[in-house]
Structure 1
């Protein structure tokens, strides 16, 4: 099992934070896609533990504990654009690899559609050998539903309803929060995640015609394809299909995506519909097709079920699907290994389309899988092709390459299509394997894999981690009588220094399937003189027999340190060439860093998380959680060191801004050196709600930001590790929330809250003491109105500090309507972000206050409608913009409140429509959309409609139509959108009196950063019968006058405005406010 030693960091801020809080209850197609970032992730997620996490529009988590989990603490982190929130009782299982970390990856859960919009969370509950019945009992006893048994993965496919997850968690695990283990009969719990579905020139490119001419075309071999289904009626598959099944829960093995049809055609297609032009690699083979992807997403359990069906019947299985890899074996990798060993099946798997180092996807990462990279028609690596080495152990992946750029193959409907991706490269190798299997009916999967890699053609300057052994060459594979027993060689890492290294050896066996002996000349290169030798230099392999050679590695020679890549090459008479790639890591200057962890009780700590982040390379290393501590092996350099130690109800954060590793290091990570926070506020009955302390490096590295949520300030200690050093890029932040507890001990409806944040530059806090008076604080008198039948909401407050991650403030529930007082400190340029959540509606606002002043704020004020005043600062296009000849829409808030604050809703049905000079350009049912438009100047109309239902009773439908002129832009520009924002005076339930005359002031807001012209006209109409009839209202200086009927009900509003440039906006708000 592979273990993670290092991971790279993303651009941004490196941070570690500790928080305590008290709360109440892919087919692998190479296509351009937006990078997933934390700010793009928002919504609400119920974890497997039953705890609920809400993310605001900036991706910041707010936590509500599940039933019976009131004292739970949480570790939150940001890594590589993903937001994690892990309860402390799950951390030991996550650390040991027994609980899938993706279960707490909110970014991945959102991408898979596993947020709270889905009632079920799909799981894979793994069991030890012969323990399936015990696992089933633990699952069903905890209210889980077993969907399928997956013996190849030693797992059950399980569904967990949202409201039953606490019950399932307590059934599948046992023990205390700091020592949680899995129930007997359960070995692992995985997320049942989703993978994505990752010939006229390409088939000759790999030498297939030469194999056909030699009489080998896959005849007698069955190949399996697991993908998006197949168009079984396509002429190119006539006579090839043995059976087709649907494993996605439906009964339609057809292909609505086209990916599976394309892949299958590349393997066995006859080319009948093209006069033989687009012929597959192995046109003599038979095909079994399993549909495991209903769209471009494929559920793990469906893939495993399909693998179990195919493995006993197919010599070769094509998997052009993949997902992110992690150290250790996931269920798909386990299934590949189990089925390969059981049946000798060769699984040929797409490497993925990430294009980055260490991005080869799973299950291509499995030992027995043959991982396929992509090259173009000139045998150059495709820019999108994922590169190795394998995550966790740096082994060789990918292992072979094939054409994957602009591949023409069959498409549904009897036609052909051009696609690119490692998905397209993989069937070239699968077809080649089928030809080789037909030539050698007795060969196993590992033998086929070795022969394919032995015969591959190295390409250009690409490294082994980019191309594997090289581009597949079927002409050479079928012609050569000699192959090796081993596909590739990963030599063990040779530790620095090297003067005392011991030589290591590796035996390589050669098999001769021919009828005459073969003499081989062996050479290994490139490497410095004396580092790598092979003996004998000449090897005779008998007919039908086997012979061995031995490689000796001696890293004591005078040579540079680093990673060496090359090949053992055996050449023989004619054009015989057998090439085995190798990788040797002669470790660069590195040292042992011993970290001894001690708890506050003076005993060795057993539960901790310690990370060393390289401040030059951006890589970070995590210490496995062994009792007392352990050793990190680190290259020479400067590091930031962070550690959190957990002891019962107490957690400690220790941070060393700079650890200079220039020799062996022993560091005492002693929780007793940390101190608590002590704050005094004017209200003597205030009690702590939350505390957050963070340590941040802001130098353009990635931001793994860690945050621990717990119970009170007495549970969190923090301090500096090591001596004080000059570290100007380092920032420490501290955030504390306080409020008055009620008789039930909760903070619900506290009449006041204190939110306090502090910033320290250049060093880590060791405790903090402050005594505050009113002159040190800003006072905000706040009203929270009600707009729905739920009448409950949660208010969150969070600080952002210059140069550091923002600490969390208070998090309190209130019954609506509600009035209260909020106090904030303003030290160090703090900006406070308030977030208000009522049901599924989320509203946020950034505020900067001054100490000693009093402010007033009203939240949740109707009418709710389009709001563009706070356009996103991270995007130059704002909510709607044009870049060149593309118009983009980015989650335009259609339910902002009367103050102009933007608001979002997870389940909001929305539809956008764009017209150009009256002709429709396109539509989108997504909040994010792009439309390609002509370059010339024209008049555009952008329409948006959104609806919402119970529990919301106001603004049940909002529609808006903007007209504007636009032409080609040379740089990104925001569209000149204007919104008309009515601001009537309503009571705290957003109600006005019946039978009264009332004014409705209207604010005309322009999209921030756009070139919207000044307003020219405004017209307002009202409806008292939900839009069946409308009455025009008099408008004077942007103030409308309305006369309410005497009966109770709702008022709908329609507003139309024009500007001096001729742009217009018309918006309709159904049930804008209530009258009673």
Structure 2
């Protein structure tokens, strides 16, 4: 069988890319620190700004990785489990690295990934993981996968495991609002929810608040917080909206059902967040405690299919008769933004309106993802809702669908008191059927809840929504019939007139009038019929009126667009159809019309099953595995551009002609050391699809044969409109030990082919730009790793993962570049052991064909700088110092990043008195200051870990300036760039020290004085003679340097014509030969 189709709507996507250990775009100084996530496979992914790298888990050195998604929202999936993800055995969320980091699930924040392990029907849940929690409703266990264990290796071998999910992080999503929905009128009839148990699964409930004293019958904690007390306030606000007594204020601040009894399940911690497993455990507990209604003012983004929370809603509703009232979410105003578990069929899902019954902009809208069902079901007040404030005796106003849901939960409690024998389905139908209609059906559902009307009406329908399903194209001409039943609980018959408000020609009523007998039922047939020319969603409303009764019932039908079956056949390199039943590999279809990306897991053992896809033109590709009897398996990427789907057809992925895409150069011993090739497909909306595949051979261990680890790619015939092939290839000299260490040259090539995938490529050195590189060293035992990546504007943007060539420093390699393309470059300097590193990055530069240039890297003096993004500003209340680094390379256009550069302090003084000191360097530091004129000193002191560098080990910058008020502070520094050798050493004797001025915006005054001093020990300083050499440049003549083998420290001072000054001291600025 084929795996389940996975659909994702993206604008610019990289559906596949194998990410090597790499360096990439430079994070700006002051950026968020690097964060790592250890995957369920045991592999570790590290993200530092735009830089993405990985470290394979133990015993997984040959594993390759697949990335997919957009630049901001992507997954990194080890290729050996990509099939498991595609066929739905492993939750894709486990590999969505940016989302995991944003949710606080990085290695520094948690001990491991939280999991829900779901078992097949009939299999008993079990796990060896510590601290496991059984979730009976979905036949699962929840546990944390410790980082030191690659738990998928064990779980993947257990045939009883149905799916492993990320235990999804979930967050929390009344005076005039209670009358707005008619609650006081319901109370006057004697119904206040008396005796009905309502569970509030939230942040806890403050049962000591006057509005809630005596209302909470039981409480339980399901979070990592210490107890069930509400220290957040969200749950207390929700609980008071349901059953508050109004005792702390006026009676007008009563909840909707002041007679209801509350159960408090703390499923969100004191920060307002929790996990799916804790919420499910709370749902099960609430059912066991006898709750009739459960309020869930929480959620997370919905995806196609049923996630664990949705499953729990369905199972517990069916088994325990509980009505789940769930917030729609606060991700509006876009369409299909409904959250889970509000997306569950059984949920009574609630959007938010304001006091005028207008839909709130934040309220999540329908239709539901994948099947276009109508959700939310109804709305309730959710804007500026006043209710009890936890930890006080007062009240507070909040907005959100979290505030709307408890209005409906309270209404359900009132109705449940009136009709204690009603099922959850009847309660839901009655509330949906008695709404005040208004707004779009897909945005608002039926309308705004009206509890007064729900209590007074004696007639209700058996369903709030009558669904006719999602029809497969071509649609049958046969009509589809459903029965709508009305139930009358009154003592007199009621005659109802039926009216239909729906798209013309889709629905018909079997009768326009029906009489419902006293304490009886009456049914009417509703028929739906569509034509093949009408794909889409068709929501509508049936309104029944008569005898003072108005009952609304929604109808909905959705239809598939014109679609056909693809019969997929895969042929490996040996010419056979692979037969490995447990081996699933990904196949992808990219529609040129910009429709949803289609990803499918193909089981090699049954690769001829049908795949349903919309009619159109596609770029298709698949990854095929070939199992050789005498060597390791190989992977082939087979593209099929220009695939036309206008009837049922066969799609063949044939890897027999797949080959390594080698690039021939003028160096006979050059071998591919890093490659990334991309399929690019134009779309009708002017955007592009892209699929990217990479391998880094620079980083392979010794004696590993690299060719079998590379992807093979099948060339294509002809020229396909709108299709382009692009390869970023790096070549170097391969050593006898199988590594590229100390390669004397490196090719960095970006090659393109319009319309097809080539079988081979060739370049000549004369066609390329050439760089004679001079790589200096910052310490005696260091190595350097050079990386380069092209800047492109195609799908996925620039290549943010680069391979790196390792050389012993100092070194003078030759680099070749494709001309006319901007290249970002960097070099990592690492001492032996690789525990410390320094990264120097260069701005993107282009090179000219046939031209040879020289570049110097890692050269001193590494010292204070004011890059373009530096900022020191003052407003009426504070000084803010941002991105004023103490360590920057001497060459213009360079930056330096290292965790070993940054220990120190930032101090601000005013008129000689300390304003504040921060134990960090900008980054960003803010000090409060009083208004008015003053003489300020800003002092930065920093030290470097000597294991990272023997140079610039201590640096101090002190600025002195006058400031009167808000604005930019006119700082400046001097940059020194002496002529040093590749050991960053100068010969003894006279030294000419070139200087240049760097200014911040607004620092326009000319310098009136410059001083340069050199010292061997920091106590005795020798002054230099300084002479101008151009605009904002000078030369300092240093007559005497320290002795051979010593280090020279440097002190630079300057003053401008306004009296602003700077003093910069760099200890061990350079060596003396």
TM-score, normalised to structure 2, is 0.81
Q: Is the 8 A contact 2:886 2:942 kept in 1?
A: no
CA shift for structure 1 position 91: 0.7
- Which of 726, 739, 746 in structure 1 is aligned with 2:732? 739
Q: Distance in 2 between matches of 1:659 and 1:384?
A: 41
Counterpart secondary structure, 2:340: coil
1:208 aligned to which of 169, 174, 183 = 183
Counterpart in 2 of 1:401?
Answer: 379
In the TM superposition, what whole-angstrom CA distance separates every residue of 1:125-172 from its partner, at most 9, and x where no partner exists?
Answer: 4142688877413x4xxxxx435333344333333343x244x23222
Deviation at 1:106, TM superposition (A): 1.6
Q: Secondary structure at the match of 2:300?
A: coil
Separation in 2, partners of 1:1052, 1:521:
95
1:443 paired residue among 410, 413, 422: 422
**Bigger shift: 584-593 or 833-842?**
833-842
Query: Which of 149, 170, 189 is residue 153 of structure 2 equivalent to?
Result: 170
Q: Does 1:121 pair with 2:112?
A: yes
Residues 782 and 857, structure 1, Cα contact 8 Å, conserved in 2: yes
- Asked if structure 1 preserves the Cα contact closer than 8 Å seen for 2:681 and 2:690, the reply is no
> Which of 514, 518, 527 is the equivalent residue of 2:503?
527
Matches within 5 A, 1:264-303: 264-291=239-266, 292-303=268-279
Among 410, 435, 447, the alignment partner of 2:388 is 410
State the number of aligned residues.
1017
Shift in CA distance, 18/1012, structure 1 to aligned 2, threshold 3 Å: same
The correspondence of residues 833-912 of structure 1 with structure 2, limited to 5 A, is 833-834=825-826, 836=828, 839=836, 844-845=841-842, 846-851=844-849, 852-859=851-858, 863=862, 868-869=867-868, 871=869, 896-899=888-891, 901-903=894-896
Q: Give the Cα–Cα distance (whole angstroms) in 2 for the partners of residues 915 and 546 of structure 1.
A: 83
User: In structure 2, what is the Cα distance between the partners aligned to 1:467 and 1:940?
Assistant: 60
Does residue 309 (structure 1) correspond to residue 314 (structure 2)? The answer is no
In the TM superposition, 1:99-498 aligns within 5 A as 99-118=90-109, 120-128=111-119, 135-137=126-128, 139=129, 145-162=130-147, 164-166=148-150, 168-174=151-157, 183-291=158-266, 292-313=268-289, 314-355=291-332, 356-412=334-390, 413-460=392-439, 462=440, 464-498=441-475
Task: Decide which of 538, 552, 565 is 1:564's aligned counterpart.
Answer: 538
From the superposition, tell whether residues 375 and 810 of structure 1 become closer, same or farther in structure 2 (CA, over 3 Å): closer
For 2:815 and 2:964, locate their aligned partners in 1 and report how far apart those are by CA, in whole Å. Answer: 46
Does structure 1 conserve the Cα–Cα contact (< 8 Å) formed by 2:125 and 2:134? no
| 2:205–2:236 CA contact under 8 A, matched in 1 | yes
298-307 vs 662-671, which moves further: 662-671
Residues 1:573 and 2:572 are matched in the alignment: no
Q: Is the CA contact 2:237–2:387 (under 8 Å) kept in the aligned structure 1?
A: yes
Query: What is the distance in 1 between the residues matched to 2:421 and 2:1020?
Result: 81
Pair 1:687–1:721, CA change in 2 (3 A): closer
**Per-residue deviation, residues 523-552 of structure 1 (Å, max 9, x unmatched):** 4331323x3223344444444444433322
The aligned counterpart of 1:701 is: 687
- Asked if structure 1 preserves the Cα contact closer than 8 Å seen for 2:173 and 2:298, the reply is yes
Measure, in 2, the Cα distance between the counterparts of 1:457 and 1:240. 30
User: Residues of 2 paired with 1:962 and 1:509: CA distance?
Assistant: 83
Contact kept? 1:754, 1:810, Cα under 8 Å: no
Q: Distance in 2 between matches of 1:915 and 1:808?
A: 42
Distance 1:1032 1:347 in 2: 80
Q: What is the aligned partner in structure 2 of residue 29 from structure 1? A: none
> How far off its partner does 1:786 sit?
5.0
Greater mean deviation of Cα atoms: 544-553 or 718-727: 718-727
Deviates more, 1:1062-1071 or 1:145-154: 1062-1071
1-side partners of 2:963 and 2:641: how far apart? 53
* Structure 1 residue 86 displacement after superposition: 1.0
8 Å CA contact retained: 1:374, 1:422 = yes
Is 1:47 the equivalent of 2:39?
A: yes
Paired with 1:451 and 1:471, the residues of 2 have a C-alpha distance of 13
How far 1:94 moved relative to its partner? 0.4
Which of 351-360 and 893-902 deviates more? Answer: 893-902
> Could you say if the C-alpha distance between residues 149 and 632 of structure 1 is closer, same or farther in structure 2, counting changes exceeding 3 Å?
closer
Does structure 2 conserve the Cα–Cα contact (< 8 Å) formed by 1:2 and 1:329? Answer: no
- 5+ long unaligned stretches in structure 1: 25-38, 140-144, 175-182, 872-877
Q: Distance in 2 between matches of 1:94 and 1:633?
A: 19
Paired position in structure 1 for 2:1029: none
Helix, strand or coil at the partner of 2:589: strand
Partner of 2:756: 764
Work out whether 1:691 is the aligned partner of 2:675: yes
1:582 aligned residue (555, 564, 575)? 555
Measured after TM superposition, the shift of residue 433 of structure 1 is 2.1
Q: State the shift of 1:670 in Å.
A: 2.7
Question: What displacement does 1:1051 show?
Answer: 10
For the 8 Å contact 2:462–2:486, the answer to whether it is kept is: yes
Structure 1 pair 809–227 and aligned structure 2 pair: CA distance change class (3 A): closer
Shift of 1:453: 1.6
Once the 2 structures are TM-superposed, how far is the Cα of residue 82 of structure 1 from its aligned partner? 0.7
The 8 Å contact of residues 696 and 803 in structure 2, kept in 1 or not, is answered as: no
**8 Å CA contact 1:940, 1:963 repeated in 2:** yes
In structure 2, how many angstroms separate the alpha carbons of the residues matched to 1:678 and 1:123? 43
Distance 1:815 1:753, change over 3 A: closer
User: 2:193·2:413 contact (CA, 8 Å) conserved in 1?
Assistant: yes
What is the DSSP-based 3-state SS (H/G/I as helix, E as strand, rest coil) of the residue aligned with 1:688?
Answer: strand
Q: Does 1:609 align with 2:586?
A: yes
| Residues 688, 794 of structure 2: 8 Å contact kept | no
Compared CA separation, residues 803 and 22, structure 1 to 2 (3 A)? closer
What is the deviation of 1:758?
0.8
**In structure 1, distance between residues paired with 2:732 and 2:80:** 27
- Does the 8 Å contact 2:219/2:263 carry over to 1? yes
8 Å contact 1:735–1:808 — kept in the other structure? no
Residue aligning to 2:49 = 57
Distance 2:1070 2:511 in 1: 90
SS of match in other structure, 1:756:
strand
Q: 1:244 and 1:982, CA in 2 relative to 1: closer, same or farther beyond 3 A?
A: farther
Instruction: Please give the secondary structure, in 1, of the residue aligned with 2:85.
Output: helix
Q: Give the 3-state SS of the residue equivalent to 1:429 in structure 2.
A: helix
CA distance in 2 between partners of 1:336 and 1:302 (Å):
14
Q: CA deviation at 1:99?
A: 0.8
Match of 2:654 among 670, 681, 684: 670
